Amino acid sequence: MANNGNESVALNGKGGRNGLAKIETHKKHSNGICHDDSGPTVKAQTIDELHFLQKKRSAPTTPIERTQTPFATLSEEQRYRQQLNSISASLASLTREKGPKVVKGDPDRKSETQRVVHDHHITPTIVVSDSALKFTHVLYNLSPAELYEQAIKYEKGSFITSSGALATLSGAKTGRSPSDKRVVKDDHTQNELWWGKGSPNIEMDEHSFMVNRERAVDYLNSLDKVFVNDQFLNWDPENRIKVRIVSARAYHSLFMHNMCIRPNTEELENFGTPDFTIYNAGQFPCNRYTHYMTSSTSIDINLGRREMVILGTQYAGEMKKGLFSVMHYLMPMRHILSLHSGCNVGKDGDVALFFGLSGTGKTTLSTDHNRYLIGDDEHCWSETGVSNIEGGCYAKCIDLSQEKEPDIFNAIRFGTVLENVVFDEHTRQVDYTDKSVTENTRAAYPIEYIPNAVLPCVGPHPKNVILLACDAFGVLPPVSKLNLAQTMYHFISGYTALVAGTEDGIKEPQATFSACFGAAFIMLHPTKYAAMLAEKMQKHGATGWLVNTGWSGGSYGYGSRIKLPYTRKIIDAIHSGSLLNANYKKTEIFGLEIPTEVEGVPSDILEPVNMWLDKKAYKETLLKLAGLFKKNFETFISYKIGKDSKLTEEILAAGPIF
């Protein structure tokens, strides 16, 4: 065999073992080294210095498709000093007036903390007080990877699942505690907010809030380290809100990292003082002897101080929905409508809003492969169009499957928080059907994990407003076209029905009404949001629709649920505009306009009475539901909308008549 001069190859067919060729390789480099992968010795003199070289500094960001402007001219030392002073002010105690000594970095990484303090000559805010002899270490805007490390090391019940998501536990509370939510009633809010019957706003006074605030702040200051997130709400740059979340758990920090809008490096450097601050001391209970307290849990909002305090619950959803309540107050003050809705946009720019309570299919129907997702839950409608309030999605996980909801299923990967799920101890595969911890299992992930999400999450004015109801009584049509007064009536009503198995003790369908499809979070009277919605729909030519995703041919237990493919066909017809050109007929009692034909949907199911074998039972059930609507709306009859009562009369006339 020929030798190429670089290798000496000897083939010994006779003497070689098993008749195989004997191969010898000898690189003939000038330096005599066979494989030269040598390089200069690293400059580091210690392991700590080597670790420092290993890590490159950056800041967490939300991907935004726009050109970035140059960074601020502040030095790193000045920026650190401003951040620490600002955080120290946020952690100020009522009795001490100033915050503790704070320093950035993990106390378990001593060399790193020392480097930060020594290299940048930071002098934290120092005050002689009961906490002056200790530092509160601030873990500031950590990345998901860093928060994984913190959670797995220090928080029992935190594990990496097979998909890469972080599974964690929220403790004894696995859902919100609406009866423990309080809002400070002062000279301003007593006239501005919705109080009394039907309102979610349970009052507390300023003093009781400050007692709880002091308790939360003292608890956070007693810890060796706290997590601080500085982030934004609202993708509309003209109306975004700066929020700061101070928490004790890595799980909470990662949750809010996903759910809020993540600043880019420049925005973080110029963040300044937040517009609203959350103190999450959920691991510590409130004092039940404090005035207005009815349990060891309290979620308190003070709109005057722009602060929120959480005690006695570790359920992360309290932070998300607490901020949503704040936006329901702040945005209308700017003449911007805040909405508890999903939102997507077609390729031609046609925006649709999806309203619906839990179980109606809001998340499923707003996540559409043929359309772009603006957001799944919280939005604003301003003079320029719609914008998502959040930077992530919070999806229910119970019975989740790749076949039914592939986008949500595939979004559960590294960086996603999985709350209270059950998984295989060995493989770490999640069993989404297991309700051992709670039925309210959840996934929180950044919105960019959805492949067809719009970034930035903004869109033009909506063309369609879709109200979703899961009617377990089986008497509402699969789709109805609404006039403006009917849209307001059903928007204020916010109807759906609970079925057996949803909550303990429910044996038959139970109507539930939630004003504006989110009564637990609104701050003003529902009619104010409804009037704003009507004004915007009229101004921009949007059409209202009522879509029933519930039962047909009988109530729950007798009829069958309307097939999801049929509902998708109906939604497609709304998006395309073809449903506007259909022939319509009016139903009795509710006076709803229903189409006689929808492509891909059996015509028989479009009129509910056709599917009931027992026509008498249908009429009785229809009247029963109409009565429930009427009774629920009694709360709003006395409230005048607009300059006169004309609009109020139109809305009342849009309800069931019998």
Choice among 358, 502, 512, 635 that is catalytic? 358
Position 242, amino acid = K
All residues at 6 or more sequence positions from 416 whose CB lies less than 8 Å from its CB, including other chains: 163, 164, 165, 166, 258, 443, 444, 445, 449
- What is the spatial distance between Cα 374 and Cα 397, in angstroms, rounded to a whole number? 21
442 labelled catalytic: yes
Q: Is 486 exposed, middle or buried (CB count within 10 Å of its CB: 0-12, 13-18, 19+)?
A: buried
Active site residue 368: no
Q: Residue 360: which residues within 8 A CB-CB, separation 6 or more?
A: 468, 469, 470, 496, 549
DSSP state of 506: -
Q: Catalytic pick from 137, 215, 252, 362?
A: 362
In this structure, are residues 351 and 461 in contact, taking their beta carbons and an 8 Å threshold? Answer: yes
Among residues 591, 570, 590, which one has the least CA distance to residue 580?
570
- Which of 163, 253, 363, 382 does the annotation list as catalytic? 363
On the question of a cis peptide bond just before residue 456, with omega within 30 degrees of 0, the verdict is yes
Per DSSP, 517 falls in state: G
Residue indicated by tokens 């492949």: 451
- Give catalytic status of residue 57 as yes or no: no
- Give 316-354 as a DSSP string: THHHHHHHHHHHHHHHHHTT-EEEE-EEEE-TT--EEEE
Range 4-33 burial, b when 16+ CB lie within 10 A, else e? eeeeeeeeeeeeeeeeeeeeeeeeeeeeee
- Identify the active-site residue in 442, 461, 481, 575: 442
- The answer to whether residues 380 and 338 touch, using CB atoms and an 8 Å cutoff, is yes
DSSP 503: B
Task: For residue 377, indicate whether it is catalytic.
Answer: yes
- Token readout for 535 is 């004004």
* DSSP strands (E only) in 141-297: 159-160, 166-168, 181-184, 203-204, 225-233, 241-247, 276-281
Exposed, middle or buried: residue 598 (CB in 10 Å: 0-12, 13-18, 19+)?
Answer: buried
Round to whole Å and give the CA distance between 520 and 377.
Answer: 14
Catalytic residue among 249, 340, 461, 463: 340
Catalytic residue (choose from 181, 321, 490, 536): 321
Residue whose structure tokens are 């929220």: 170
**Any catalytic annotation for residue 413?**
no
Q: How far apart are CA 538 and CA 534, in angstroms?
A: 6
Q: Say which DSSP state 171 is in.
A: T
362 as an active site residue: the answer is yes
Q: Note if 536 is an active site residue.
A: no
How many Å apart are CA 115 and CA 38, to the nearest integer? 31
| Residue 58 neighbours by CB distance under 10 Å | 8
Catalytic residue at 180? no
CA–chain centroid gap for 75, Å, is 35
Point out the catalytic residue in the list 180, 236, 368, 377. Answer: 377
Sole residue written with tokens 């009536």: 489
Provide the pairing of β-strand 135-140 with 101-104.
Answer: parallel
H/E segment holding residue 622: helix 615-633
In the numeric block, which tokens belong to residue 639? 């409230």
Say whether 230 sits in a helix, a strand or coil.
Answer: strand
* Residue tagged active-site, from 137, 176, 244, 463: 176
Token pair, residue 599, equals: 């492509």
Kindly list the catalytic residues: 176, 321, 340, 358, 362-363, 377, 442
